[in-house]
Amino acid sequence: MRVRVLIVVLITVTLLGVAEVTLHLVGERLGEARFWYAPDAQHLIEDMERLESAGIASDVVFTGSSMVQFGIRSAIVEDRLGSVEVAHNAGIPKGYTTVTRRWLLEEVVPRLQPDRVVWGLSSLDFNGGRPTPAIIDYEAARAGALGVFGWMDRGLWSVSMIARYRDILREPSFLFDLLESQTRSELTIGLDDLMDPVVWPDVGQTPHAFNALRTSLLADFHVGDRHAADFRATIEALSADGIEVVVALLPVSVPYLEAHPDGDDGYALFTDWLRREVDSLGVPLLDFSRAIPEGEFLDYNHVGPDGAALLTEMLVSDLELLGW
Amino acid sequence: MVFNSFEFFVFLALTLGVYWLVRHRTQNLLLLVASYVFYGWWDYRFLSLIWISTIADFLIAQRIAATSIQSHRKRWLFGSLAVNLGILGFFKYFDFFVDSAADLLETIGLSANTPTLSIVLPIGISFYTFQTISYTFDVFRRRIEPERDIVTFGVYVAFFPQLVAGPIERAQHLLPQIQADRVRPSLMNVWSGSWLILIGLFKKVVLADGLAAVVQTRFDSPGQHGAVSLLIGVYAFSIQIYGDFSGYSSIARGVARLFGIELMRNFEQPYLSTSISQFWRTWHISLSTWLWDYLYVPLGGSRSGRRRTYINLALVMLIGGLWHGAAWTFVVWGGLHGFYLIVHRARGSYEVRGKPPAPRLTDLWRIVATFHLVGFAWIFFRASSLDAAFEYIGGFARLTSTAAGDGGSVVTQTVGVVAVVAASFALDWVDRNREAYRPLMWSPVPLGIAAASMITGLLIFSGGTLVPFIYFQF
């Protein structure tokens, strides 16, 4: 029995070893192994690490969700705002307040060392009624996982190629892509181009997207306790570090307001709450809620390239008025 | 604490390490404390419900045994039922019955301001209350003597490997094992226990969780999918729930074996069933035999004529459905299975209890037909409401569109689901014919290949959001 068990263990270990070596050989062709919850977050980390190793710190960082990611052009800020030489956009998908607290304080601030932070927000950033809170995705990924399990999972990344490429291996189609994938290391991006959006998402105002907005992003809208607490705690932590903070209420479309429970009135209640909250924290609030023409929206809450340029111009003007 | 979490394995290693160092009495005490820690990890407040059930049935069973007057014995039995079903009824069904009563009043034009309490459902409550009820019933029927040691009885009620999702053990089977001195497990037992855990984890993490997203996208928005895509969703859920629940049962048996305790088999390859009756003899065996012994037989079973038999079957399956959850979807699910069983019985078909024989190739169409009948009923089990279930079924008329709508291509998902269904049937086929495959199953090469494949699958499918076991909600 003992010998039989030993042989089985030996065969198992050998086969696992063969699988590991095979993946080691073809790994680069499999595509990008997922460490963060979203590829965009992963790319931003790589960009920030390149900036950090080049000794480039930020004068101002823009943070928030994909509304910031695609809504603000840091290159325009660098061009137009005299007091800013280096600006970076660190907005990430689903970067709602609960996510941004961890993302900004643990990842962005230590790497980019900003003097100022502009936090772009809207009501969906605070929604405590979402059926699947974004922080669950963030903390389910290796990079964001907490505790001993997270530590072990990150350890597996360096030890096992099977574990490292697990997200790709879950999709049987990886076999078809094996010979075609291009790894990120093959792309060449200059330091000047880092952290500024160049490709906008291919989305639109469709019934499906509107339904998702109503039943997911704005579902059962109310300001979540944790969302509000994380918002407060983040601003307090930034202020304690001597980082100047401005909160910007980002533009939304008419259908977005219609999708809001109680429509305009519900949204107005939220903005009143946010105004009081920001006042009590002693930071300025810039309101761009209805500042962008309807035609400039890609969908209901994301602006397109022209809308982003327009929004950034307006933001620069307001920041100048604040003495930046 | 769940079996597919890191903390469970730390907890298991620590408990096992101490368990085999101490004597029998201390082992039971340790098992009791460990079981309460395991349960309290989720919400310690609900431990009080387990304690109430434990103490009530411990005392009532002794009262029943102490008297030979039948009316007194019955009174005590009803006392036990009142405590257990009272707890279950309040925590699981209060809101459901109040809401349903309000809906009923509304349909006849009355409005009622009914109170609902938004009660949190204590995990595993349906399992341990049924287990304690069966104990008191068996003492009442003089099948067993009452247990005199509260620690032993406490372990019987709360033994952590099967506390939250079964198998619903019988006192005749589990209590003697807790009462007896445990022999340190042989290498053979450790080996087979570890295999059961590995197979269970594979079924849960790879088969069930791997299909979770495919199922969720279809059941969340059936309107965006065509007939083929919805059919894939039904197949996927059929395997997801089987992998999830049988995986749990397998891990429970494996973990219990490491403690020197054998739990009953809860599944006998149900999807290889050639009839709906056989399905119910092989699916969630501990519940179906419980319903048979403590509900169907006391109701008269098949002893009082055909009509009464059909009523009993329907009643048992409706209650079985409601046991799963306080929602009309589960009632319809149970009702559908009751209907299937009545039709089966009306055709004059009977099944023999126990492990069914290995199916022949000529049985294939019966297997396929039974699988699809069961799959159809799963739509009601999985849907969030009756409306959602009918919307899903209505989608089968959309033959033109096969949109997946969730980012993955239809081809990829179809290949994935077919592969998982095939893997699940293959595992069951080998298991059903385990006597015939024994030489192969004990040969080191196939065992090594199987182990390496399962570990690779676990490495690929582990990580990410922890998906809780489906049956925890019951």
Which residues of chain A are within 8 Å of residue B452 when distances are taken between CB atoms? 11-12, 15-16, 19
Nearest CA in chain B to A135: B465
Rounded Cα–Cα distance for residues B460 and B206 (Å): 8
Output DSSP code: residue B91: I
For residue B451, what pLDDT is reported?
Answer: 92
Give the confidence band of B464 by pLDDT, cuts at 50, 70, 90: low
Smallest CA–CA distance from A208 into chain B, residue: B224
pLDDT tier for residue A131 given thresholds of 50, 70 and 90: confident
CB contacts of A137 in chain B (<8 Å) are: 465
Two structure tokens written together for A303? 């602006």
Show the tokens assigned to A232: 């407060």
Domain range summary for chain A, segments of one domain joined by +: 39-134+194-321
pLDDT band at residue B407 under the 50/70/90 scheme: very low
Least confident of A30-44, B124-138, B329-343: A30-44
pLDDT at B111: 67
Q: Are residues B379 and B392 in contact, defined by beta-carbon separation less than 8 angstroms? A: yes
Per annotation, catalytic residue among B225, B284, B324, B337 = B324
**In percent, how much of chain A has pLDDT > 70?**
92
Strand partners, A88: A61
B445–chain A Cβ distance below 8 A for any pair:
yes
Which pair of structure tokens corresponds to residue B3? 């079996």
pLDDT tens, position by position, B301-317: 888 888 899 999 999 99
Determine the Cα–Cα distance for residues A169 and B460; give it in Å rounded to an integer.
7
Side chain identity at B245, as an amino acid letter? Answer: F
Query: Is residue B474 very low, low, confident or very high in pLDDT (cuts 50, 70, 90)?
Result: low
Contacts of A112 (CB under 8 A, 6+ apart): A48, A51, A52, A57, A58, A61, A88, A90
* B337 belongs to the catalytic site: no
Give me the pLDDT at residue A192, please.
Answer: 62
Mean pLDDT value across chain A = 87
- Whether chain A has a CB inside 8 Å of the CB on B449: the answer is yes
Q: Which residue of A has its CA nearest to B214?
A: A171
Chain A: give the shortest CA distance to residue B424, in Å.
Answer: 17
Measured between CB atoms, does B465 come within 8 Å of chain A?
Answer: yes
pLDDT at A173: 63
Q: The complex's ipTM?
A: 0.71
Give the CA count within 13 Å in the CB-facing half-sphere of B460: 19
CB contact under 8 A, B416 and A136: no
Q: Which residues share a beta bridge with A87? A: A60
- pLDDT higher than threshold 60 for residue B400: no
Contacts of B9 in chain A (CB under 8 A): none
Facing residue for A12 by CB, picked from B455, B462, B463: B455
Do A234 and A105 touch, CB atoms closer than 8 A?
A: yes
Confidence of residue A188 (pLDDT cuts 50, 70, 90): very low
CA-to-CA distance for A226 and A230, rounded, in angstroms? 6
Contacting residues of B for A163, CB less than 8 Å apart: 459-460, 462-463
Helix (H) or strand (E) holding B215: helix B209-220
Per-residue confidence at A76, pLDDT binned at 50, 70, 90?
very high
* Nearest CA-CA distance, residue A152 and chain B, Å: 9
pLDDT tens-digit profile of B9-63? 899 999 999 999 999 999 999 999 999 999 998 888 889 999 999 999 999 999 9
Q: For residue A13, give the chain B residue with the closest CA.
A: B452
Q: Does B224 contact chain A (CB < 8 Å)?
A: yes
* Mean pLDDT to the nearest integer, B390-418: 70
Query: Which of the four pLDDT bands, split at 50, 70 and 90, describes residue A26?
Result: confident
Closest by Cβ to A172, choosing from B224, B405, B412: B412
Nearest-CA distance A236 → chain B (Å): 30
φ/ψ (deg, to 5) at A303: -90, 155
Contact indicator for B241, B337 with CB cutoff of 8 Å? no
Specify which of A219-223, B70-74, B109-113 reaches the highest per-range mean pLDDT: B70-74
Neighbour count for residue B54 (Cβ, 10 Å):
20
Structure tokens at B209: 């969780």
**Quick one: average pLDDT of A69-95?**
90
Question: With pLDDT > 70 as the criterion, what percentage of chain B qualifies?
Answer: 92
Q: What is the 3-state secondary structure (H, E, C) of chain A?
A: CHHHHHHHHHHHHHHHHHHHHHHHHHHHHHCCCCCCCCHHHHHHHHHHHHHHHCCCCCCEEEEECHHHHCCCCHHHHHHHCCCCCCEEECCCCCCCHHHHHHHHHHHHHHHHCCCEEEEEECHHHHECCCCCCHHHHHHHCCCCCCHHHHHHHHHHHHHCHHHHCHHHHCCCCHHHHCCCCCCHHHCCCCHHHCCCCCCCCCCCCCHHHHHHHHHHHCCCCCECHHHHHHHHHHHHHHHHCCCEEEEEECCCCHHHHHHCCCHHHHHHHHHHHHHHHHHHHCCCEEECCCCCCHHHECCCCCECHHHHHHHHHHHHHHHHHCCC
Which residues fall within 8 angstroms of residue B42, CB to CB, at 6 or more apart?
B1, B123
Q: Best-predicted range by mean pLDDT among A54-58, A279-283, B407-411, B412-416? A: A279-283
Write out chain A residues lying below 8 Å of B458, CB-based: none
Report d(CA B279, CA B268) in Å as an integer: 9
Are the Cβ atoms of A208 and B456 closer than 8 angstroms? no
Chain A residue with CA closest to B460: the answer is: A166
- What values do phi and psi take at A247, rounded to 5? -105, 130
On the question of pLDDT at B188 being above 70, the answer is yes
The tokens of B136 are what?
């008191």
> Any idea which residue has 């689903």 for tokens?
A94
Flag whether pLDDT at A199 surpasses 80.
Answer: no
Averaged pLDDT for residues B251-275? 93
User: What is the spatial distance between Cα B53 and Cα A125, in angstroms, rounded to a whole number?
Assistant: 45
Q: How far is CA B176 from CA B152, B170, B193, B256, B418, in A?
A: 10, 10, 20, 14, 44
Q: What is the pLDDT of residue A177?
A: 57
Chain B residues inside the 8 Å CB shell of A93: none
DSSP state, residue B473? G
- Determine the pLDDT at residue A109: 96
Query: Which H helix or E strand runs over B243?
Result: helix B227-258
Q: Is the domain A39-134+194-321 a CATH 3.40.50.1110 member?
A: yes
Interface probe for A, chosen from B7, B217, B459 (most Cβ of A below 10 Å), is: B459
pLDDT of residue B353 exceeding 60: yes
Which chain B residue shows the shortest CA-CA distance from A149? Answer: B6
Least confident of A180-184, A248-252, B33-37: A180-184
Binary contact (A153, B463; C-beta < 8 A): yes
A&B contacts, CB < 8 Å? 81
B6 Cβ under 8 Å from any chain A Cβ: yes
SS3 of B3, please?
coil
Distant-in-sequence, close-in-space partners of B155: CB < 8 Å, separation ≥ 6: B28, B31, B32, B35, B178
Nearest CA-CA distance, residue B93 and chain A, Å: 24
Shortest CB distance from A140 goes to which of B7, B456, B465?
B465
Distance between CA A275 and CA A259 in Å, rounded? 22
Taken as a whole, chain B contains a residue count of 474
Is B452 within 8 Å of A10 when comparing Cβ atoms?
no
* Contact state of B6 with A172 under an 8 Å Cβ cutoff: no
For residue B172, count other CB atoms closer than 10 A to its CB: 12
Query: What chain B residue is nearest to A37 in terms of C-alpha separation?
Result: B464
Q: Which two tokens stand for residue B21?
A: 């160092």
Residue A181's pLDDT is 47
Q: Is A159 on the interface with B (CB under 8 A)?
A: no
Average per-residue pLDDT in chain B? 87
| pTM across the whole model | 0.81
Q: What is the pLDDT of residues B268-324, one digit of tens each?
A: 899 999 999 999 999 999 999 999 999 998 888 888 888 899 999 999 999 999 888
The whole-number average pLDDT for the span A276-302 is 93
Q: What is the pLDDT of residue B473?
A: 66
Q: What is the amino acid identity at position B63?
A: R
Kindly report the nearest CA distance between residue B1 and chain A, in angstroms: 14
Of A190-194, A246-250, B4-8, B35-39, the least confident: A190-194
Looking at residue A187, its pLDDT comes to 41
Tell me the average pLDDT across A229-235. 96
Indicate the burial class of B225 (C-beta count within 10 angstroms; 0-12, 13-18, 19 or more): buried
